[in-house]
């Protein structure tokens, strides 16, 4: 059997899990079911497979550093590449880009295993068995999709109709409840998981026939792309000209080489809060409690606290999620309507759409503790050995107090070494930099004062992460 090249699709925002999921911290980065994120769990899952090549992870440009941080936190010692999209163009360009990247670096006709980063799979052994079967079919020239064996009539998924042998007879859009029940009763319909296996050679031949423009665009985007360590950036202008389409629409619904393998994997795409409630362990009253939660006379609820005590009394079938800057309350049965909230926040350009109070940066993170018109307080965490850009602000003054660790501070012409309970002051217009020269995390409190405190009041003179002004 050919070697397997894992491709993990880690784009998207997962807006239906707001307020936990945000534009800059999407679903695949969240720790929803245990102490690892969905992305980390997917990475560990593919690394447990036999004879796999270093994984490829396709992400948006804005998520590149937090994705790398989460992968490095696993300490697997395994190499990987992060393929960067300047903008999301749906799954067909993303997969084409991964195939082209792979073929430019290998003479072997490997089998690519394409997996979304944000799915839950609880049966690891069954997953390996299905992957091996799919790889065998892929080696015979089939483009294989994984069909999840349905457990109930589900209206939130597309379906795959299985024909003779392993052949796909048809793909079906999300049905109404009556049609979903009909599919379940017939027994040859499966949920469309969005997972695929195929050889690079077969995929390219089929895309020439059915998606030639996308394939051509991504060939050029890879040929003119730029590599930087673990990162590979598709050429932004060329990818921006690529049609935005799903791989199902472009290829799977048209090719005669489509095959389906039935998969009983304990699978969920965790596409809503109700879906998450269904897969998590519950107490005797059917409640899922996460964080600092108190319940009285409450049943069949999902209650999650991130920053403060959440108390619920006399609630039934209800979603309550608190994140410090937002609270979401809705009937669990209407959890899909969270998308309407996200649409409103995006239209109004509310910051709750894009980020949390804690914002992740390549050097660490900062958390907004207090924010007023002319001042704000932040808690800043800097990874060992990391440093912020050499920068200057036009409108704000900054006071730094070290809480733990050691800070090396460039403050104009001076270079200071600050320890716990020591501080410094950065006047507006002064070139400065913060570094952590130690082996433990640096934590400090920053107080900003000035007439304008926006994050765009930063002039960068030097930045090892390649960020401009």
pLDDT confidence tier of residue 14, bands split at 50, 70 and 90 = low
Predicted confidence at residue 218, as pLDDT, reads 96
pLDDT in tens, 295-332: 999 999 999 999 999 999 999 999 999 999 999 999 99
- CA dist 219 and 213 (Å) reads 10
HSE, side-chain direction, 13 A CA sphere, residue 355: 14
Q: Is the pLDDT reported for residue 37 higher than 60?
A: yes
- CA dist 74 and 53 (Å) reads 17
Average pLDDT over residues 107-114: 86
Average pLDDT over residues 215-239: 94
Mean pLDDT, the chain, rounded, equals: 94
Give residue for tokens 């006709």.
Answer: 109
Backbone φ, ψ for residue 392 (5° rounding): -150, 150
Supply the DSSP string of 390-440, one letter for each residue.
Answer: EEE-SS-EEEEEEEES-EEEEETTEEEEE-TT-EEEE-TT--EEEE--SSS
Q: Is the pLDDT reported for residue 367 higher than 70?
A: yes
pLDDT confidence tier of residue 36, bands split at 50, 70 and 90 = very high
- CA dist 469 and 467 (Å) reads 7
Q: Are 316 and 299 in contact (CB under 8 A)?
A: yes
- CA dist 145 and 262 (Å) reads 9
HSE, side-chain direction, 13 A CA sphere, residue 393: 20
pLDDT in tens, 139-167: 999 999 999 999 999 988 999 999 999 99
- CA dist 233 and 227 (Å) reads 6
pLDDT confidence tier of residue 51, bands split at 50, 70 and 90 = confident
Q: Which two tokens stand for residue 49?
A: 């497979």
Predicted confidence at residue 15, as pLDDT, reads 83
Residue 130 vs residues 16, 46, 136, 147, 196: alpha-carbon distances, Å: 29, 12, 10, 10, 11
- 449: enclosing H helix or E strand: strand 442-449
Predicted confidence at residue 469, as pLDDT, reads 47
- CA dist 446 and 186 (Å) reads 63
Say which DSSP state 340 is in: H
Average pLDDT over residues 432-438: 98
- CA dist 158 and 205 (Å) reads 26
Specify the higher pLDDT residue, 254 or 16. 254
* Nearest residue to 210 (alpha-carbon basis) of 159, 257, 170: 257
- CA dist 287 and 284 (Å) reads 7
Residues 6+ apart with CB under 8 A from 68: 82, 230, 231, 362
Q: Which two tokens stand for residue 371?
A: 């924010």
Predicted confidence at residue 1, as pLDDT, reads 66
- 326: enclosing H helix or E strand: none
pLDDT confidence tier of residue 466, bands split at 50, 70 and 90 = confident
pLDDT in tens, 375-395: 999 999 999 999 999 999 999
Say which DSSP state 174 is in: P
pLDDT in tens, 193-219: 999 999 999 999 999 999 999 999 999
Q: Which domains does the chain have, with CATH numbers?
A: 4-268 (3.90.550.10), 275-342 (no CATH), 358-462 (2.60.120.10)
């Amino acid at each position: 059997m050919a070697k397997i090249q894992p491709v993990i699709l880690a784009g998207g925002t997962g807006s239906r899990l707001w307020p936990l999921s945000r534009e800059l911290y999407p679903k695949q980065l969240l720790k929803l079911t245990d102490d690892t994120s969905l992305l980390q769990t997917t990475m560990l899952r593919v690394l447990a497979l036999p004879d796999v090549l270093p994984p490829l992870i396709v992400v948006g440009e804005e998520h590149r550093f937090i994705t790398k941080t989460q992968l490095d936190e696993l300490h697997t010692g395994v190499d990987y590449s992060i393929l960067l999209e300047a903008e999301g163009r749906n799954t067909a360009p993303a997969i084409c880009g991964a195939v082209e990247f792979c073929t430019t670096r290998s003479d072997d006709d490997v089998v690519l295993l394409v997996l979304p980063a944000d799915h839950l799979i609880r049966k690891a052994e069954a997953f390996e068995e299905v992957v091996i079967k799919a790889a065998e079919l892929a080696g015979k020239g089939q483009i294989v999709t994984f069909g999840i064996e349905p457990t109930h009539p589900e209206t939130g998924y597309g379906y795959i109709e299985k024909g003779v042998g392993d052949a796909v007879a048809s793909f079906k859009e999300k049905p109404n409840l009556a049609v979903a029940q009909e599919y379940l009763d017939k027994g040859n319909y499966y949920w469309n998981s969005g997972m695929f296996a195929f050889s690079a050679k077969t995929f390219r031949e089929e895309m020439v026939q059915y998606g030639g423009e996308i394939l051509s665009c991504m060939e050029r985007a890879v040929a003119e792309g730029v590599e930087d360590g673990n990162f590979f950036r598709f050429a932004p202008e060329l990818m921006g000209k690529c049609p935005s389409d799903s791989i199902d629409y472009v290829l799977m619904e048209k090719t005669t080489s489509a095959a389906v393998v039935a998969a009983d994997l304990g699978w969920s795409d965790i596409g809503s809060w109700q879906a998450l409630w269904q897969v998590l362990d519950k107490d005797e009253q059917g409640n899922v409690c996460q964080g600092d939660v108190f319940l009285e006379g409450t049943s069949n609820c999902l209650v999650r606290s991130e920053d403060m005590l959440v108390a619920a009394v006399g609630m039934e079938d209800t979603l309550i999620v608190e994140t410090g800057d937002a609270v979401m309350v809705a009937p669990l049965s209407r959890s899909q309507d969270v998308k309407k909230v996200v649409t409103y926040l995006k239209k109004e350009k509310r910051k709750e759409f894009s980020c949390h109070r804690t914002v992740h940066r390549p050097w660490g993170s900062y958390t907004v503790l207090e924010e007023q018109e002319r001042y704000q307080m932040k808690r800043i965490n800097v990874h060992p050995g990391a440093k912020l850009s050499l920068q200057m602000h036009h409108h704000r003054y900054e006071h730094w107090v070290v809480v733990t660790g050691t800070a090396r501070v460039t403050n104009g012409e001076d270079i200071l070494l600050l320890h716990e309970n020591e501080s410094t002051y950065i006047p507006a217009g002064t070139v400065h930099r913060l570094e952590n020269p130690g082996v433990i995390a640096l934590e400090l409190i920053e107080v900003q004062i000035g007439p304008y405190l926006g994050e765009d009041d930063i002039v960068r003179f030097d930045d090892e992460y390649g960020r401009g002004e």
